[in-house]
């Protein structure tokens, strides 16, 4: 054999180019190839089914149309199974008819494992579970909850006592977990309240947990989560928790040293009450994902109250990134609603991507961003009803560049028809931004594409195109898309000329 094939790195590279279906044949070609080929073949299981296939077929039979275990495994069979399970680093268990057919006998088989449960998958790092909590599935889940597990993603769809009992032991079985996501289907108040007592207490045992995504566990559960000193990312689903219940409780200490705080809610009242229940929030990034379930006027009022409370509870020196993402409905908002965020002097990103119609003038836009010289990303709605919304103009855009000189991404609806007073030779009066790479104007009105292109190329010399993708605009007829396509055509031509001049 050539000496190069004795190099493990060379063999690993060869294995990485071989399709999974061909790896068994490659592994059987030569003993030098076997170990690395099997490592890659078994590293990531998209289903537990291969565990069944690696065993003799006469182990299993059928009873009333269901696969059943007919006899126990002998020592040699266990050695064969462990030879492969020891190589597994991740498992995906998804509910399906095929999964139901194999998981029952597989669960029974694993219960007879002659050694400690943790030794069956000693190197398992990641488990994604979205299957029913049948007895067989629960037995398999129990064997997969091992000390080496670092990532656990579970969708709960069963409230069987055995399944909940296994979940309640996660803290003891998987002490080194770093990332955990728990979701519930169906998402009902009764379901949440039944499951929470089994799930939230063990969370406080996970002292290495860095990232947690879970439904709102109530005040007692939040207190458990606050004990996690290593926690850096927390995402809470507030949509099934009673707002009145949280109001009746005293303030909780809050969260310190978070990098990301994400809240999903159907009303800003829930998010408002959650923030009000905390004394302090120290987080670099806050993301609010909401669906409007009330009238536009009341939504705007609650949104204003939300930002006021956010300023009071948030460490304004620490907050760098704020995102407001709407999934349904529309809230009409005046720029004054966002003014409490001006206290966050180190803000680098503000994104209001959907679900909020903002009426804002040139002066109001400049007043909003005046205290954010470090702003890198600014997104304020990609679609607004043009007929009844005040929009900034290119004059305001030029002033924005002076106040926020390092912008790299900008999404803003503007009135690109008002060009009076702008010198097409030096549109920014010496002000330009060489960093901007991503520009979205949504359904901004435009009448003279050539003049607009001249202005944009002057203030954004490195901009190649205006991004015409706008999800909100797909909901209505966008009559300006041809005009903005012409703007991009002119920008392309200017770019070619600029490159020629540079070569000369």
- Dihedral sign (CA 406, 408, 412, 417): positive
Residue 251 has pLDDT above 80, yes or no: no
For residue 273, the SS3 value is helix
| Contact yes or no for 162/133 (Cβ under 8 A) | yes
Cβ burial of 410 (10 Å; 0-12, 13-18, 19+) is buried
Question: For 427-434, what is the mean pLDDT?
Answer: 89
CA 92 to chain centre: 19
State the Cα–Cα distance between residues 101 and 67, nearest whole angstrom. Answer: 6
State the Cα–Cα distance between residues 400 and 418, nearest whole angstrom. Answer: 16
Considering only residues 311 and 269, tell me which one the structure prediction assigns the higher pLDDT. Answer: 311
For residue 6, what are its two tokens? Answer: 């004795």
| Contact yes or no for 262/351 (Cβ under 8 A) | no
State the Cα–Cα distance between residues 207 and 177, nearest whole angstrom. Answer: 8
pLDDT score recorded for residue 477: 47
State the Cα–Cα distance between residues 207 and 77, nearest whole angstrom. Answer: 38
The mean pLDDT of the chain is 84
State the Cα–Cα distance between residues 303 and 161, nearest whole angstrom. Answer: 41
DSSP 199: H
Residue 20 has pLDDT above 70, yes or no: yes
For residue 13, what are its two tokens? Answer: 């590279």
Q: Which residue has the tokens 């009873």?
A: 63
Distances (CA, A) of 350 to 184, 231, 257, 407, 432: 31, 24, 20, 11, 21
Give the bridge partners for 66, in sequence order.
Answer: 63
Distances (CA, A) of 98 to 66, 93, 102, 107: 11, 11, 7, 14
Distances (CA, A) of 237 to 181, 299, 300: 11, 19, 21
Question: For 199-216, what is the mean pLDDT?
Answer: 91
DSSP 95: -
Q: How many CB atoms lie within 10 A of CB 114?
A: 9
Confidence band, pLDDT 50/70/90 cuts, at residue 195: confident
Question: For 417-438, what is the mean pLDDT?
Answer: 91
Confidence band, pLDDT 50/70/90 cuts, at residue 321: very high
Q: State which H helix or E strand residue 35 sits in.
A: helix 31-43
Q: State which H helix or E strand residue 127 sits in.
A: strand 126-130
Q: What is the CA radius of gyration of the chain?
A: 29
Question: For 304-329, what is the mean pLDDT?
Answer: 88
Question: For 269-281, what is the mean pLDDT?
Answer: 89
Q: State which H helix or E strand residue 237 sits in.
A: strand 233-237
pLDDT score recorded for residue 475: 44
pLDDT score recorded for residue 471: 47
DSSP 47: S
Question: For 310-323, what is the mean pLDDT?
Answer: 94
For residue 129, what are its two tokens? Answer: 């579970």
pLDDT score recorded for residue 244: 46
> Is the bond preceding 186 in cis, omega lying within 30 degrees of 0?
yes
pLDDT score recorded for residue 75: 85
Cβ burial of 418 (10 Å; 0-12, 13-18, 19+) is middle
Question: For 438-454, what is the mean pLDDT?
Answer: 92
Confidence band, pLDDT 50/70/90 cuts, at residue 397: very high
pLDDT score recorded for residue 386: 56
pLDDT, tens digit (0-9, with 9 covering 90-100), for 40-49: 889 999 888 8
Portion of the chain with pLDDT greater than 70, in percent? 89
Cα first-last separation, the chain? 57
Tell me the range of 34-43, 117-126, 447-456 where mean pLDDT is highest. Answer: 447-456
Residue 4 has pLDDT above 80, yes or no: no
pLDDT score recorded for residue 295: 46
By DSSP bridging, strand 126-130 and strand 90-94 are parallel
For residue 417, what are its two tokens? Answer: 């028809």
For residue 343, what are its two tokens? Answer: 């206290």
Confidence band, pLDDT 50/70/90 cuts, at residue 453: very high
CA dihedral (104, 105, 109, 110) in degrees, to 10, reads: -30
pLDDT score recorded for residue 336: 85
Q: How many CB atoms lie within 10 A of CB 327?
A: 12
pLDDT, tens digit (0-9, with 9 covering 90-100), for 261-271: 999 988 888 88
* Residues 442, 321, 391: CA angle, nearest 5 degrees: 30
For residue 22, what are its two tokens? Answer: 């061909």
Considering only residues 238 and 99, tell me which one the structure prediction assigns the higher pLDDT. Answer: 238
Range of weakest confidence among 25-29, 372-376, 459-463? 25-29
Residue 294 has pLDDT above 60, yes or no: no
């Amino acid at each position: 054999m050539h000496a190069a094939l004795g190099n493990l790195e060379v063999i690993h590279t060869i294995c990485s180019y071989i399709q999974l279906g061909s790896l068994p044949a490659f592994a059987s070609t030569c003993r030098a190839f076997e170990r690395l080929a099997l490592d890659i073949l078994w590293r990531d299981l998209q289903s537990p089914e291969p565990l069944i296939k690696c065993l003799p077929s006469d182990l299993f039979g059928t009873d009333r149309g269901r696969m059943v275990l007919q006899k126990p495994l002998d020592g040699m069979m266990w050695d064969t199974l462990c030879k492969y399970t020891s190589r597994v680093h991740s498992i995906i268990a998804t509910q399906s008819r095929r999964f139901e057919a194999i998981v029952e006998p597989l669960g029974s088989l694993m219960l007879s494992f002659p050694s400690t449960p943790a030794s069956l998958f000693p190197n398992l790092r990641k488990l994604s579970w979205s299957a029913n909590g049948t007895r067989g599935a629960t037995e398999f889940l129990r064997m997969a909850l091992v000390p080496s597990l670092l990532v656990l993603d579970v969708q709960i769809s069963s409230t069987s006592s055995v399944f909940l009992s296994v979940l309640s032991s996660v803290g003891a079985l998987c002490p080194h977990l770093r990332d955990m996501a728990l979701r519930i289907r169906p998402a009902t108040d009764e379901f949440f309240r039944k499951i929470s007592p089994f799930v939230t207490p063990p969370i406080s045992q996970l002292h290495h947990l860095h990232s947690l995504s879970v439904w709102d566990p109530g005040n007692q559960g939040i207190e458990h989560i606050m004990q996690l000193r290593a926690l850096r990312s927390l995402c809470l689903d507030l949509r099934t928790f009673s707002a009145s219940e949280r109001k009746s409780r005293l303030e909780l200490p809050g969260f310190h040293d978070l990098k990301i705080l994400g809240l999903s809610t159907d009303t800003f009242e829930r998010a408002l009450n959650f923030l009000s229940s905390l004394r302090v929030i120290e987080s670099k990034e806050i993301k609010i994902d909401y669906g409007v379930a009330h009238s536009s006027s009341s939504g705007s009022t609650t949104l204003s109250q939300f930002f006021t409370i956010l300023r009071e509870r948030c460490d304004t020196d620490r907050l760098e990134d704020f995102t407001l993402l709407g999934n349904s409905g529309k809230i009409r908002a005046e720029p004054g609603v966002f003014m409490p965020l001006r206290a966050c002097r180190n803000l680098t990103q503000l994104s209001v991507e959907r679900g909020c119609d903002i009426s804002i003038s040139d002066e109001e836009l400049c007043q909003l961003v005046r205290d954010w010289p470090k702003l890198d990303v600014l997104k304020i709605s990609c679609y607004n009803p043009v007929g009844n919304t005040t929009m900034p103009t290119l004059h305001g855009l030029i002033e924005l560049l002076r106040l926020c000189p390092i912008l790299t991404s900008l999404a803003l609806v503007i009135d690109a028809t008002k060009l009076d007073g702008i010198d097409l030779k030096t549109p920014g009066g010496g002000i330009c931004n060489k960093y901007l790479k991503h520009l979205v104007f949504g359904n901004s009105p435009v009448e003279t594409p050539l003049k607009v292109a001249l202005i944009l190329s002057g203030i954004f010399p490195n901009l190649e195109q205006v991004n015409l993708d706008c999800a909100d605009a797909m909901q209505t007829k966008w009559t300006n898309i041809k005009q903005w396509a012409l703007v991009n055509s002119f920008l392309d031509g200017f770019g070619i000329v600029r490159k020629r001049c540079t070569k000369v």
